[in-house]
A and B are shown apart, each in its own frame.
Chain A
Amino acid sequence: MIAFTRAHTYFKQINTELLGLSVDSNSSHLAWIYDIYCRTGIKISFPIIADRNGEIARKYGMIANEISNTQTVRNVFIIDDKGIIRVILVYPMNVGRFIPEILRTVKALQMADCNGCSTAANWMPNQPMIMPIPNNYEELENRVENIGKNKNGINWYLSFRQPKQECIEKNTDS
């Protein structure tokens, strides 16, 4: 929760909000966040849902019955601005999340949407993106010619281009 709070400002800069959930009661959450404040001076900057009867957790499949039938595991759902679930990450109870990867994934989704491209392994924001595969022979030839000139790919089926400036501006957190 502290780690998410520390990163909250970076999420906000890309039009993204944070929302926590556990099956504890609201008063237990209030006591918890006050305790965090007293001990660290950090105010948890986003709401935490008290899903007392596990209704939301069950709807979203946050409870892994093989592990526990009352406790949520560590799930992350990235939901886009149209209410579509775009990514689901699941971690066991004994491994914490790596917040920079969650932030990077939101950026990758936004950049993929904005550019009509996809991202390769280990992609970081503002790096070149993979262009969609050509749909016809002419496009294929253009792609091959382009790669010959610009050295921006391996072959017609794998070439890269810089993300559009307008997308970078929308997606920047610096």
Chain B
Amino acid sequence: MDYELMVNNNVKIGQKAPNFEAITTFGNISLDDYKGKWLVLFSHPRRLYTSMHN
């Protein structure tokens, strides 16, 4: 399932969010840590080449 997503880049609304474990500025975090809460996950372009605006 995850492999298919990686190949197709095709996450869609209504689908289960792919799980992940990640290194963050607050320590290690996985998607499961947010069970029971809503989550806004957002990506940002690389800092060095862009401004600091959102």
Contact = CB atoms under 8 A, between A and B. Distances in A.
Given A1-B52, A17-B34, A49 B42 contact: no
Contacts of B35: 81, 83
B53 A60 contact: no
Contact of B41 (A21, A24, A26): A21
B15 A85 contact: yes
Contact of B17 (A17, A32, A73, A85): A85
B41 A79 contact: yes
**A interface secondary structure, majority:** mixed
Given A50-B23, A83-B17, A83-B31, A1 B40 contact: no
A51 B22 contact: yes
Contacts of B49: 71
Given A23-B46, A83-B16, A85-B17, A16 B37 contact: yes
Interface in A20-34: 20-24, 26, 28-30, 32-33
Contact of B37 (A15, A46, A75, A97): A15
A96 B47 CA distance: 13
Contact of A74 (B10, B43, B52): B43
Contact of A50 (B24, B42, B43): B24
A19 B23 CA distance: 12
Contacts, number: 181
B14 A84 contact: yes
A160 interface: no
A60 B11 contact: yes
Contacts of B48: 24, 28
Contacts of B40: 4, 11, 16-19, 76-79, 102, 106
Interface in A45-62: 46-52, 55-62
A75 B43 CA distance: 5
B12 to A, nearest CB: 7
A57 B43 CA distance: 8
A21 B25 CA distance: 10
Interface of A: 1-4, 11, 14-24, 26, 28-30, 32-33, 36, 44, 46-52, 55-63, 71-81, 83-88, 93, 96-97, 99, 102, 106, 110
